[in-house]
Structures are given as C-alpha cells and as structure tokens.
Amino acid sequence: MISFDSLTLKMWIEQNEDFLLGSRIQKIQQPTRRDFLLSIRKNGETKKLYLNINPQYYHVCFMNKESEAKRLIEIPQKPPMFCMLLRKYLENAVISKVSQPPYERILELYIEAYNELSEKIYLCLAIELMGKHSNVVLYNYDTNIILGCAHNVGAEKSREREMAGTLPYVYPPNPPKTWYVSQNTFSEDTSGDINSKIDNYYADCIYEEKFRSVKENYRQIINRRLKKDKNSLEKMEYKLEKEKDCDKYRIKGDLIMANLYNNKDFSKFIRVFDYQNNKEINLELDETKTLKDNANNFYKLYNKGKTSLTKLSELASNLRFDIDYYEHILYSIEIASDMEALSQIGFEIEPEKKQKPDKKAIEPMMFEIDGCKVFVGRNNRQNDYIVSKLSKDEDYWFHTKDCAGSHVLLKCENPSDDLILKCAKLAKEYSKGSKSSKVGVIYTKRKNLKKPPKANLGYVTYKGEKEIIV
C-alpha cells in the first residue's frame, strides 16, 4: 500500500497551487462520513477536488471522470449536517491562500467568505491526512474558533487535542521535525503529474475495497437465506416422513367397519383379521365411543394426514426451488469479476432498491465456436435473457445436471457431435462443478424448455433431454 506522506502532499500543493489560488468553490457534497467533493472553478475551468479521510485511503486529489466512476460515488438525498455547514460558509467563496504547516500532513485552504451580516470573514478549511486521526476542520482564522469538523474528538478519545465546535483549533502535538517519507511513496518519482498518480491509485484501491465489500455482503445475505431454507426443508422432510404412515388409519377404520356387527361397542380393543398381512390383530379403541365412532375417528386422522402430506409436499417442493435458485445466485456472486456483474445480481438480492437495469450488462458472454454463436449467462438475469429473448425453437440449450451453473445456448441447426461436446465442456467450465473430475451436462432444443408462471429468474423445466458426462 502506498502511503500519502507529508512530502507527497507538499509536491501535490506545489503542482496545483496555481489553480487553487483565486478559485471559487461552487459546490460542496459529502457522499459519506469520510469523503468530500468540492467543485472548484477558475478561468472557465471546473475541477472536482476530492477529500478522503478514510484511515486506509486518506488522500486529496483532483478527480478525472474515469476515477470518479471507479470510486462509485453516490450522493445522498439528505446531506449530513457538516456538509450543510460547509455549504453555508464556503459555497461561492474564494480560496485566497493554500499552505501546509511544516512537515505536517495537513492541507490548509484559507477562504474569504461573508457572514450573515455581509461582513467579510476569513476562514480556514484544514484537511488533516493522518491515518486514523484524519479529519476535516472548518475554523475562523481571525478568532481561531472551530465552526465544525467531520469527526468530533472528545476528551475521552484524546486528552491532548479535543476537536469540536466552539473550541479553539490547535495543531497536533509533537510536530515532526523533518519531512516524513514512507518506504513506498508517490514522491519517489518527481517527474510527471503527481495528482494523476494519486487519483488513479486510490480510485483503484477504493474500487477493489468496495467490490470485495459488496461481494461479501451479498454472499452473506444468500448464505443466510440458504441456511434458513435448508433448515426449513429438513423439518418439512421430517414431518413428511411421519405423515407417510397416515394410510394405516384408513386401514384400521375399514377393518372396524368390516367387523362392526361381530363386536360390542364401548370396548377397549377389537380383534380383527388383517387381510393384507393375512393374520389376526388387536386394534386399541376409545372405550367411551362406539365402534362406528372409533372408525370415524381413524378416518379423520387419515384425512388430516393426507391433507398435511399434500401441503407439506408442496411447501417442500417450493423450498427446493428456492434453494436451487439461491445456489445459482451464490455461484453468480462467486464468478462476478466486477461491480457491473454484482449490480446485476443485486436486482435479485435487493429488489426493493428498484435499480434501473443496464441493457449492456444484461447481455451474456458470446463465443464463436466452429463458425456458430454460443451464448453463456453469468447470472440469472442473463440466463433468463438467453431463454426468453435470444433463443429460437431450434437452438440448443445446455446446463449442468443437479449443479448450479450458466445457461449455454448454441445457435446452430445441425451441430456435429464435436460441437455439442465443446458446448457441454463450456457449460461445465461455467458451473459450480468446473473443478470436478466428472459432471453431467444435459442438453435439448429450446422448444423443449418451459418457464413456469411466477418462476424465479433463470428457472426452466425441460423435456427430451440428453446427457453427456464431461
């Protein structure tokens, strides 16, 4: 990890001071608690000054459009209170001076502004880039009183330097006596634009960190759902096993009714001949009821068990569908290589966000094999797009058997056995069983596929399939 040391800040100020001096702050935004975006304009040119006080990625730079996209910045509808404070004092104000206290990792922007009485005041925006102590502080230069800061620091956190509104602003204790240069630093190479190096490097770092964070978050959400449904299915199957014996109650009822006139009512048991097993058996009865009432009681138990069996079977079937669906989502998360792929999976995981789908991202991967087009879906949305939009009746559809994986579509009227084998290998490669020694791959024509009503994305039923062991 490259550190943003004091010498790097010094070099950055030297290269960008000319633009900052006399520039006007047009717009202030605070996407999160730890980063700020200032739109600064001078001589008809507007630049975006990005301030990051994350303990891992603390830095300052002017962003370009590419790095801004990588940072995945989302502006909240309701800005934080500190952002509102900065807007109150700094919007449309002019930067009159840029400085750095000797050897410190502090960027000071001195600003000419006006108060509520239209009186000119001098403020200072101090951007402190000091690891876990990083902060952004706005204070009155004339009175040295803090107006506000991104993170308040109370006495319980620091005995030497409290940071909060109405307190005097002081520099950190024990100031360094020389320029701090880390082992891995931007200031090693003095040639070229240091701002671009800082901007591109940290944009990549932030992108990777956000990608890992979103991926892990999605993985945890799906694993929780999988665990819940698997536990429910286990309980359902246990109840199903118990209800499978409900037919014995019907048999007991039939045996009582067949021997109704050969025995007495209000008996503790009745001896009957079991024709199915060809032997005599004793049936325990409720001695407070007649034989007919006992038979009806057994019929009620039978009907209750039969109804439960039907409902439990339906619920268990739905749970199996959901588990299979979540297994496919989990596989899609694992193979996702960028935020664009994850965002498509996010439509299924967090549908309440009502994201707008990117048409380009919905398009599956396309290969050309032996002069024929082959499409491979990387997630359920793309799998659904393959089946519902791209395919025609005579196209061939491939999928791993009993294993989460991608839908593979071959657009070819009369494919050779070699081409079918290549597509089957492609289906194995883009599946959860890609590292297994043997995987079954089924294939059939598109006209044999059917998507049930209200089925999950990417789910289809099929018939007339053939299987290849790859």
Q: Are 434 and 415 in contact (CB under 8 A)?
A: no
Least confident of 36-40, 118-122, 182-186, 427-431: 182-186
Q: How far apart are CA 103 and CA 180, in angstroms?
A: 7
**At 306, which amino acid appears?**
K
Q: DSSP label at 192?
A: S
Q: Do the domain assignments include residue 342?
A: no
Q: Do the domain assignments include residue 352?
A: no
Rounded (10°) CA dihedral 7, 10, 14, 16: 110
Q: What is the CATH number of the domain that holds 33?
A: 2.30.310.10
Q: Which helix (H) or strand (E) holds 49?
A: strand 45-52
More confident residue, 242 or 470: 470
Q: Are residues 277 and 319 in the same domain?
A: yes
Average pLDDT over residues 69-94: 94
Q: Are residues 322 and 373 in the same domain?
A: no
Task: Name the band, by pLDDT with cuts 50, 70 and 90, for residue 456.
Answer: confident
Residue 28 has a pLDDT of: 97
**At 136, which amino acid appears?**
V
- The answer, yes or no, to whether residue 354 has pLDDT greater than 70, is no
Q: Token pair for residue 95?
A: 């930067």
Q: Are residues 22 and 91 in the same domain?
A: yes
Q: Are residues 161 and 295 in the same domain?
A: no
Task: Name the band, by pLDDT with cuts 50, 70 and 90, for residue 246.
Answer: confident
- CA 166 to centroid of chain Cα atoms: 41
- The answer, yes or no, to whether residue 360 has pLDDT greater than 70, is no
For 211-233, the pLDDT digits (tens) are 999 999 999 999 999 999 999 99
Q: Which residues form the domain of 418?
A: 363-469
Counted domains in the chain: 3
Q: Do the domain assignments include residue 346?
A: no
- The answer, yes or no, to whether residue 302 has pLDDT greater than 80, is yes
Q: Are residues 148 and 247 in the same domain?
A: no
Q: Do the domain assignments include residue 396?
A: yes
Q: Are residues 458 and 377 in the same domain?
A: yes
Q: Are 52 and 128 in contact (CB under 8 A)?
A: no
Q: Are residues 420 and 295 in the same domain?
A: no
Q: Which helix (H) or strand (E) holds 382?
A: helix 380-385
Residue 361 has a pLDDT of: 61
Q: Are 386 and 407 in contact (CB under 8 A)?
A: yes
Q: Are residues 327 and 372 in the same domain?
A: no
- The answer, yes or no, to whether residue 38 has pLDDT greater than 80, is yes
For 392-417, the pLDDT digits (tens) are 999 999 999 989 999 999 999 889 99
Candidates 410, 350, 342; CA nearest to 376 is 410
pTM: 0.78
Backbone angles phi, psi at 445, to 5 degrees: -75, 155
Residue 359 has a pLDDT of: 59
Q: Do the domain assignments include residue 300?
A: yes
For the chain, how are helix, strand and coil distributed in percent, rounded to 5?
Answer: 40, 25, 35
Q: Are residues 166 and 240 in the same domain?
A: no
Q: How far apart are CA 142 and CA 162, in angstroms?
A: 20
Q: Do the domain assignments include residue 10?
A: yes
- The answer, yes or no, to whether residue 188 has pLDDT greater than 80, is no
Residue 190 has a pLDDT of: 66
Q: How far apart are CA 15 and CA 61, in angstroms?
A: 11
Least confident of 65-79, 273-287, 325-339: 273-287
- The answer, yes or no, to whether residue 191 has pLDDT greater than 80, is no
Q: Do the domain assignments include residue 265?
A: yes
Q: Are residues 325 and 378 in the same domain?
A: no
Q: Are residues 162 and 30 in the same domain?
A: yes
Average pLDDT over residues 348-367: 71
Q: Do the domain assignments include residue 21?
A: yes
Q: Which helix (H) or strand (E) holds 422?
A: helix 417-429
Q: How many CA within 13 A on the CB side of residue 3? A: 11
Residue 357 has a pLDDT of: 54
Q: Are residues 372 and 413 in the same domain?
A: yes
- The answer, yes or no, to whether residue 356 has pLDDT greater than 70, is no
- Collapse the DSSP code of 278 into the 3-class scheme (helix H, G, I; strand E, B; otherwise coil) and give the result: coil
